[in-house]
Structure 1
Amino acid sequence: MTTLTFRTAQLSVAGGRTLNEDALGQGEGIWVLADGLGGHGGGEIASRLAVNAVLATTQVASTGLPNLTEIIAAAHQTVVDGQQEAARLVAMRTTLVLLCSDGRNARWAHVGDSRLYGFRAGHLWVQTADHSVPQVLALAGEITLEQIRGHADRNRLLRCLGQERPPKPALSEATVALQPGDVFLLCSDGFWEWVDEEEMQQTLAETSEPTAWLESLEQRLLERAEPGHDNYSAMAIFVDGSPT
């Protein structure tokens, strides 16, 4: 039998903007990241409300993983309730991506274009699909997945928290049994826009520490990001194990 533990590193930077509308947080067996939508007003409030709601309503126990659909519905309702607090908040929106684990298994969910990447044995193993117009075009074969990054409609989201109707989250297809050496990356679009999947995998092979990995990826981002670039945030979760 193997006992699993987790090492986590995180970063959240305003980038070329004056305001950081990203938010992230972690609790016992839960990691969550949100990206407030710029241009809607109150994005920084929406993202923080969503993250806090997830952390407040999620208790990951050894008896099983929580219902992620209910968790995201609660976070959405918290943002909707917050829209009533002031006129400038009436249209605030945010993305959300989360990972949870009971120490043996994991599940994840997301709404919008904040992503989860999973690596197993050093190779990209899972990648969430954005709820965006370019993602639909990619699924239809009209553009490649790589072309999503520079597409003119990349910021046109089809689902987010705070919209009129509760969004349907995308869930991991099944509960996943974790293995020592598994690595997860949660990140906002301001992060993955400038760092591609091949680079994520390559830099992961060069380090065994989550902080060093994020620093390496951030360095690549900063080398190519354009002036005024978006906020960027990321969380790295390394799964460790030892025989018991």
Structure 2
Amino acid sequence: MFGVTSIASGEAGGFWWAAATDVGRLRSENQDDWLVERTPRGLLFAVADGMGGHPNGAWAARFACRELLEGVATAPPETSFSLAVLTGALNDRLRSEAEALGTPGAGTTLTAALLDGRTLRWVHVGDSRLYRFDGSALQLVTRDHNLAAEPGGHPRLANVLTRCLGMAGELKPDAGEEDEPVGIILATDGLYLHVSPEALLDTIRAPDLPRAVRELVALANSSGGPDNITVSLALPASGRRRYASFAIPTGAPHEAS
């Protein structure tokens, strides 16, 4: 029996957003997690993909998203702020908690974006992805941290991560900042490995964002759905004319907390 796709959507911090997650067609447990939350620093988006084949992958994904949220939400506004530093410290906490639970080796990817209406900050470790789009073009922002992405790497090695939360030693996440807020897509590999960039862009032109994420999950499942599937989208509410090819969700949206 296939699982039910979980979908949420709303408006917060000047952005319309929608997110969906699905267990897929072959897995018995959804080890992905996601969040969209308003913070004093801006609107925080994150996706995490717990490491399959390792104990407590689902717990690791949830832990990563919630701990990142806690770090962003409680960072003193008068101090300098780094998503990369927060994520590096999160790696140590996740390892300690996993050992305390008796499941050393638990790990997860984490890709997050923070939108404040002026800038887009992002942090990334693993092989989930962040894309940006302007209404016509799609651009991959992050680089996959797996052996397939290394020089001479083979696609069959895509499931071997070179960086993840839970890894031993010092973690050095990728991070960046865009001067202008743009529409974004965050996705785990269960989505992007089975939906082409062209189909991804075409589907975003659905009549509303909840329908867009639902159709993206359906596309991944129609390709076999071998993995958990998670995706979230966001568009600036103020950019309605700029993103004329995209419809804004109708009805009363549910705001992020």
Aligned equivalents of 1:78, 1:27: Cα separation in 2: 21
Give the secondary structure class of the aligned counterpart of 2:99. Answer: coil
Aligned equivalents of 1:127, 1:212: Cα separation in 2: 24
**Does 1:231 find its partner at 2:231?**
no
Give the secondary structure class of the aligned counterpart of 2:91. Answer: helix
Aligned residue among 168, 173, 180 for 1:169: 173
Aligned residue among 144, 152, 160 for 2:164: 160
1:14 deviates by 1.3
User: What code does the residue aligned with 2:109 have?
Assistant: T
Aligned residue among 8, 14, 22 for 2:23: 14
1:75 corresponds in structure 2 to 90
Give the secondary structure class of the aligned counterpart of 2:65. Answer: helix
Give the secondary structure class of the aligned counterpart of 2:14. Answer: strand
Give the secondary structure class of the aligned counterpart of 1:97. Answer: strand
Give the secondary structure class of the aligned counterpart of 1:58. Answer: helix
Closer, same or farther: CA 53–91 of 1 in aligned 2, 3 Å? same
User: What code does the residue aligned with 2:146 have?
Assistant: S
Closer, same or farther: CA 18–170 of 1 in aligned 2, 3 Å? same
**Does 1:193 find its partner at 2:193?**
yes
1:128 deviates by 1.3
Native 8 Å contact 1:50 1:78 kept in 2: no
Give the secondary structure class of the aligned counterpart of 1:107. Answer: strand
Aligned equivalents of 1:26, 1:96: Cα separation in 2: 14
Aligned equivalents of 1:207, 1:176: Cα separation in 2: 28
Native 8 Å contact 1:117 1:127 kept in 2: yes
1:141-160 matches, cutoff 5 A:
142=152, 151-160=155-164
Native 8 Å contact 2:190 2:220 kept in 1: no
2:49 corresponds in structure 1 to 35
1:219 deviates by 2.1
Aligned equivalents of 2:80, 2:135: Cα separation in 1: 24
Native 8 Å contact 2:132 2:184 kept in 1: yes
**Structure 1 unmatched runs, 5+:** none
1:50 deviates by 0.6
Aligned equivalents of 2:123, 2:169: Cα separation in 1: 18
Native 8 Å contact 1:65 1:100 kept in 2: no
Native 8 Å contact 1:33 1:51 kept in 2: yes
Aligned residue among 119, 122, 146 for 1:105: 119
1:11 deviates by 1.2
How many pairs does the alignment contain?
222
Closer, same or farther: CA 65–107 of 1 in aligned 2, 3 Å? farther
Aligned equivalents of 2:47, 2:139: Cα separation in 1: 20
1:48-70 CA distances to partner (integer Å, 9 max, x unpaired)? 11111011110389989831112
1:127 deviates by 3.0
Q: Please give the TM-score of this superposition, normalised by the length of structure 2.
A: 0.79
Q: Supply the RMSD in Å over aligned alpha carbons.
A: 2.3
Q: Which moved more, 1:39-48 or 1:65-74?
A: 65-74
Closer, same or farther: CA 63–208 of 1 in aligned 2, 3 Å? farther
Counting aligned pairs with the same residue, the percent is 26
1:103 deviates by 1.9
Moved over 2 A (4+): 59-66, 206-209
Closer, same or farther: CA 242–114 of 1 in aligned 2, 3 Å? closer
2:66 corresponds in structure 1 to 52
Q: Please give the TM-score of this superposition, normalised by the length of structure 1.
A: 0.83
**Structure 2 unmatched runs, 5+:** 1-12, 241-257
